[in-house]
Structure 1
Amino acid sequence: YAPDATLCIVTNPVNSIVPACAEVYKQAGVFNPKKLLGVSLLDTIRAETFVAKELKTDVNKVTIPVIGGHAGVTIMPWFSHATPKVDFDESTLTALDNHVQGAGTDVVNAKAGAGSATLAMAYAAAEFVEVVIRGMHGEQASASTFFNEPYGDVQYFSYLCDFGPEGVSKIHPIEGLSEHEAGRLQEVITKLKVDVQRGIDFANKQE
């Protein structure tokens, strides 16, 4: 039993399991939102991979924050904050956005229902844990994570965050959205509210 431990949740649906777990922690009196983290890094890895392919460049030279949630329409690549700057037309942006959202389903379909993106999920989880540990040791470390930090009227959201000895140490503000992203964000929030509430309701029904 380690009430001060940092818990990284990779099990899907992350959008619902993180809030459900938070309710359990609250009941035990040990909830620390900075240390209960949903692993959404796989979405970042996919976004960077797809954009690097489009740009015909090295994926290690591309960074793209992914905000919102970790399922379907709630996954929102923040293309306007990409490095290097991307200047795709609307149809290309929409196609890339949809590709990132649907990548998990694409893998399931490719495996004919016999599995999911197991290796990719394991890689993303390992990369995320390394970021958290580097932060614990005082190194500069950042990644997107889904946790109990409200955005608008939704209680949980995935932000680009810096990490330190006590978990999340800084939240990068969401600003400078493109017109495309501003429209998508409303779609993200609407779905996220449903996912989050489902997790809270499930936890509160348990004895």
Structure 2
Amino acid sequence: MVKATVIGAAGGIGQPLSLLLKQCPLVTELSLYDVVNTPGVAVDLSHINTAATVTGFTPENDGLAKALKGTEIVVIPAGMPRKPGMTRDDLFNANASIVHGIAEAIAKNAPKAFVLVISNPVNSTVPICAEVFKKEGIYDPKRLFGVTTLDVVRAGTFVSEAAGKSQDAAKYQVPVVGGHSGVTIVPLLSQAKPSFSPDQKQVEQLTERIQFGGDEVVKAKEAKGSATLSMAYAGARFAIAVMEAMSGKTSESPEYSYVDLTSDAEGSKAVTEVIGSNTAFFSVPLTLGKNGVEKIHPLGKLSDFESSAVKKAVEALGDNIAKGVSFKANKL
């Protein structure tokens, strides 16, 4: 059974994410950390009659270290949410320092933990974590994940709607690769299951909607919030998949996550051949195992439109990744 830690647990994503993890039978201990209000969230959740015990910590009395001690999986939704008119890259300066400090604490207190990064911009914050872990001598690329599951969840929802089968949304599987920001998000609609036959205009419209689904939420909330509930669902779904793999369960379908491609050298070679460029991080289909990334799967045959979209994604990702690496370098 698993001790799970949520960092940023009192926020708009953190609270519903913690609620979903409290319901997971694999979690026996749920440790919550945030800069304010965490003890209250923990007590509230502790009244739910599921197996996991819940504790809440704030910065006082070395709370972050206590929250991390003995944990096996860390989920990080901490940071500033996206505001109207902001891209995920606009969030970088606000969130980079937060993620950097959290990564240092993980390296010191939970060096073997699986680390799931939700804090935006994921394209840059995951490389920051990697650089911190490298400096501390504990980096295992198989155990570091950028959570891109929301893009997969949105793709399944939007494609099922376009196919006139919204009641079957859970049955739709649409690969989404690349990154987790705007044009770096590349849905492979040609590989959707069940298959459907959109015309080119529909393909372009669906692709843009999946890429910029977060803007749709911000607009609907009248600029007073962002995608918190759907992100919490997606984050919990991926965290549970990781924990199931830790317990020895093998999934029939691949998960998708933004990972260091060196986590599976053979699999990354096949990916690189398709995308036509070397990129350190990329969201790929993968099989999870007891040690994290077990296998990176090929991307499959891409349409001409998808190949063009991947090229744009790789170009943008290069800048995003470099920004994260250089942030850590400037911290030295």
TM-score normalised by the chain length of structure 1: 0.97
* Separation of aligned partners in 1, 2:210 and 2:170: 18
| 1:131 matches 2:250 | no
The 5 A counterparts of 1:161-180 are 161-180=286-305
Q: 1:148 aligns with which of 241, 255, 260?
A: 260
| 1:82 matches 2:82 | no
Superposition deviation, residue 55 in structure 1: 1.1
The 5 A counterparts of 1:51-130 are 51-57=159-165, 58-130=168-240
Task: Find the counterpart in structure 2 of residue 19 from structure 1.
Answer: 127
Letter in 2 for 1:89: D
Query: Which structure has the larger Rg?
Result: 2
Aligned residues: 207
* Separation of aligned partners in 2, 1:130 and 1:49: 20
Task: Find the counterpart in structure 2 of residue 47 from structure 1.
Answer: 155
Match of 1:204, SS state, is helix
Match of 1:163, SS state, is strand
* Separation of aligned partners in 2, 1:50 and 1:61: 12
* Separation of aligned partners in 1, 2:162 and 2:222: 27
Over the matched positions of the two proteins, sequence identity in percent amounts to 39
Stretches of 4+ moved more than 3 A in 1? none
* Separation of aligned partners in 2, 1:140 and 1:92: 35
TM-score normalised by the chain length of structure 2: 0.61
RMSD: 1.1
* Separation of aligned partners in 2, 1:174 and 1:123: 25
Letter in 2 for 1:108: V
Summarize deviations over 1:128-158 as a string: whole Å, max 9, x none.
0011111111212331000111642211100
* Separation of aligned partners in 2, 1:86 and 1:197: 38
Superposition deviation, residue 201 in structure 1: 0.6
* Separation of aligned partners in 2, 1:11 and 1:95: 27
Match of 2:212, SS state, is helix
Superposition deviation, residue 91 in structure 1: 0.5
* Separation of aligned partners in 2, 1:53 and 1:160: 23
Q: 2:321 aligns with which of 196, 201, 204?
A: 196
Q: 1:35 aligns with which of 127, 130, 143?
A: 143
